[in-house]
Structure 1
Amino acid sequence: MRPVLEVADIFHAHGEAFRRAQAGHLSLGQLKVMSAIQACRTAQLGGHVERCEDCDHQRIAYNSCRNRHCPKCQGAAAQRWLEARQAELLPLAYYHVVFTLPAQIGDIAFQNKAVVYGALFKAASETLLTIAADPKHLGARIGLTAVLHTWGSALTHHPHVHCIVPGGGLALDGQSWVSCRPRFFLPVRVLSRLFRRLFLEKLAAAHAEGQLSFFGELASLADRAAFAARLAPLRRIEWVVYAKRPFAGPEAVLAYLARYTHRVAISSSRLVALDDRGVTFRWKDYRQDGQARRKLMTLAPSEFIRRFLIHVLPTGFHRIRHYGLFANPARAANLAKARALLHAPPPSAVAANAEPKPEPHAKPSITCPCCGGRMVLMEVFERWSGPDSPPPGPGYRPVFRIDSS
């Protein structure tokens, strides 16, 4: 069922005025995201007509934009990604570690997204791999999946990386599996200190190599001395590295990943109203005692759109990455070795036991909402057009189905 209010509705109502007011200040990527979200599942992208073989119920399905920032297009993308990951889960406890950049880095990150977000990924992954390999802690080669989020609950700029890590790894000689202590993975303070050092080293190196650009109020940071002075206080504060309790099992890991891997800055389910006061949405306030308090926030439409667009990632930037044992070149071999050492069944056996295969002549998943019959494709229509088929009878009202492709 379509939500009462969607991000697309806000863009339709106020997007054109926002574009005019921000002419020359929006990137091509941000403009493309706005256009894609507005066009998603409308006649602008074309679609197809389906009809039930049994009761002749007919409905129109408009195509999805498939933009990774579109709230409507992430469900199917997440499901496809999860199905690929399910066979890779190991039968042991998984841990969740979050690495967060200090607020003082926020402006630099916003003007240099690809470089700073890349440094965040590298510093976080190197921190976990280095500390885990230290014999004083775990003494093993681990694998991890990292997911970048750039937002806080109020749509503010808050770059952080969620890392999902199995509770153990291959011994340094590769001959055995080393498990971490029950309910404890790695010391958070040690992780925090190394993460701080590695990230600041990478940021300073990027500046020295001319990879950073500064505009407006930050223009003075192009000077090496000014930049070093800006970073100096950050070496003396504690950086937030948060380790959550281990997941209840592999199934809980999948449930978590389903919520986080393809999440966008705000989902339509959090939107409450669009009226004369502005855009009202639900958010969580963690400022009091660190406990989440559910509140409502109302922003002017232009400010809501601005906050949404600051989370548009650079073109081609990967926000889900795998490291260590899970790095793509040797992932299959490493997982096979880990399964052998853990005496775990191969992925094919796990999949076979988890869910039976459908019968060869089973009905497809798309069924008629009226009678449960099979919906068949009747017509495909191109962009900016509609179906040619006439309605089946007087008073017919077409049903617009969401295409989750």
Structure 2
Amino acid sequence: MLEVADIFRAQGPVWRRTVSLSLGQLKVMSAIEQCRSAALGGHVLRCSGCAQIEVAYNSCRNRHCPKCQASAARRWLEARQADLLPVGYYHVVFTLPAPIGAIAWYNKAVIYGLLFDIAAETLHTIAADPKHLGANIGATLVLHTWGSALTHHPHVHGIVPGGGLSPDGERWIACRPGFFLPVRVLSRLFRRRFLEALAQAHRCGKLQFFGEYAGLADPAVFDRWLAPLRACEWVVYAKRPFAGPEAVLAYLSRYTHRVAISNQRLVSSDERGVTFRWKDYRAKGRTRYKTMT
């Protein structure tokens, strides 16, 4: 089976001479290239029953390696298992508009931090409102910065139990069957609070701008740039409840330790490029699954 490591080993030396990479990125490529090869050494396993010997090469354990995330995901899930409640769970997604995603390239710590904080604050605020749920809720949030087609697409996945504790902490308040919180209300509050926090970050000099966005360093230009974002709809949605805690664990295992592209999605690699499978969420049925080079 074709692997990312194969592509890195074949094309990496030439590619590294043509682009500028950070030390961290170079280390990732090196780790993936050497993973489970003689370069990292190995260990010998011997069966106590039949005395059969098996030699296995060591893993790189880099969090970006598509071969090293399965065991890390299992360990993470085992540690989270005790946190699950015997209730239905909902899947909530908060997505940043493309213009904000564009400036996030140069302001990852600030904007991704705001994405986490404002998404959590939005969930807590709306859930605590007696008009909606009137409860103190908990949530597990997972950051994703890419889409299936490997485009930059910052969004947060939230796994939320269908209810929470009453304000006095004495009883459980369950949401309505099949309905968690109103998506339109979540979206509006998320948009308002995020733009307020982003504007405050700009006033405090925490944002950097380069290239075509260099002009946004000027407060007046930045304010005009924000204006359309105050009027457009922001994508927030909640999926129907999971079947139970086991389904939550299965879902989390596909999201918490996922790398940008797995070996299973690779189709071919030649002098024309790399072809891989991707899912078009705008399409329906079997036509959703496509290939891209």
Partner of 2:245: 250
Alignment pair present for 1:89 and 2:84:
yes
- Secondary structure of the residue aligned to 1:127 is helix
Q: Deviations over 1:129-188 (max 9, x none)?
A: 000001111011000000011111110000110000001111112121111111100000
The amino acid of 1:16's aligned partner reads P
Structure with greater contact order relative to length (CA < 8 Å, sep ≥ 6)? 1
Q: 5+ residue gaps in structure 1?
A: 299-405
Partner of 1:162: 157
Deviation at 1:276, TM superposition (A): 2.6
Higher helix share: 2
CA distance in 1, matches of 2:285, 2:195: 27
**Alignment match of 2:172 (pick from 156, 177, 201):** 177
Partner of 2:15: 18
Within 5 Å, give how 1:61-72 maps onto structure 2.
61-72=56-67
Q: Deviations over 1:350-403 (max 9, x none)?
A: xxxxxxxxxxxxxxxxxxxxxxxxxxxxxxxxxxxxxxxxxxxxxxxxxxxxxx
Partner of 2:229: 234
- More moved, 98-107 vs 156-165: 98-107
**Alignment match of 1:127 (pick from 114, 117, 122):** 122
Partner of 1:371: none
The amino acid of 1:92's aligned partner reads V
The amino acid of 2:8's aligned partner reads F
The amino acid of 1:29's aligned partner reads G
CA gap of 1:290–1:225, structure 2 versus 1, over 3 A, is farther
CA distance in 2, matches of 1:290, 1:141: 38
Within 5 Å, give how 1:345-364 maps onto structure 2.
none
TM-score, normalised to structure 1, is 0.70
Is residue 98–residue 242 contact of structure 1 (8 Å, CA) maintained in 2?
Answer: yes
CA distance in 1, matches of 2:147, 2:247: 23
Q: Deviations over 1:78-105 (max 9, x none)?
A: 1001111111111111111000111111
CA distance in 2, matches of 1:197, 1:18: 42
Aligned residues: 293
CA gap of 1:292–1:220, structure 2 versus 1, over 3 A, is farther
Deviation at 1:63, TM superposition (A): 1.5
Deviation at 1:291, TM superposition (A): 8.7
Is residue 45–residue 63 contact of structure 1 (8 Å, CA) maintained in 2?
Answer: yes
CA distance in 2, matches of 1:266, 1:33: 14
Partner of 1:221: 216
- Secondary structure of the residue aligned to 1:31 is helix
- Secondary structure of the residue aligned to 1:140 is coil
Partner of 1:143: 138
CA distance in 2, matches of 1:209, 1:29: 28
CA distance in 2, matches of 1:131, 1:56: 62
**Alignment match of 1:274 (pick from 269, 284, 288):** 269
Amino-acid identity (%): 74
CA distance in 1, matches of 2:102, 2:148: 18
Deviation at 1:44, TM superposition (A): 2.0
CA distance in 1, matches of 2:284, 2:223: 34
Root-mean-square deviation over aligned CA pairs:
1.5
**Alignment match of 2:5 (pick from 5, 8, 19):** 8
- More moved, 141-150 vs 289-298: 289-298
**Alignment match of 2:290 (pick from 264, 284, 295):** 295
Deviation at 1:56, TM superposition (A): 3.7
Is residue 142–residue 168 contact of structure 1 (8 Å, CA) maintained in 2?
Answer: yes
CA distance in 2, matches of 1:224, 1:32: 38
CA distance in 1, matches of 2:158, 2:32: 29
- More moved, 105-114 vs 234-243: 105-114
CA distance in 1, matches of 2:49, 2:174: 57
CA gap of 1:291–1:127, structure 2 versus 1, over 3 A, is farther
Partner of 1:107: 102
Within 5 Å, give how 1:314-329 maps onto structure 2.
none
CA gap of 1:225–1:144, structure 2 versus 1, over 3 A, is same
Q: 5+ residue gaps in structure 2?
A: none
Is residue 286–residue 292 contact of structure 1 (8 Å, CA) maintained in 2?
Answer: no
Q: Deviations over 1:12-58 (max 9, x none)?
A: 111122211113xx222222211221121122222212233344432
Partner of 1:75: 70
CA distance in 1, matches of 2:288, 2:110: 34
CA distance in 1, matches of 2:119, 2:286: 25
**Alignment match of 1:46 (pick from 35, 41, 46):** 41
- More moved, 53-62 vs 70-79: 53-62
Deviation at 1:260, TM superposition (A): 1.0
Deviation at 1:10, TM superposition (A): 1.0
Structure 1 or 2, whichever has the larger Rg, is 1
Within 5 Å, give how 1:193-232 maps onto structure 2.
193-232=188-227
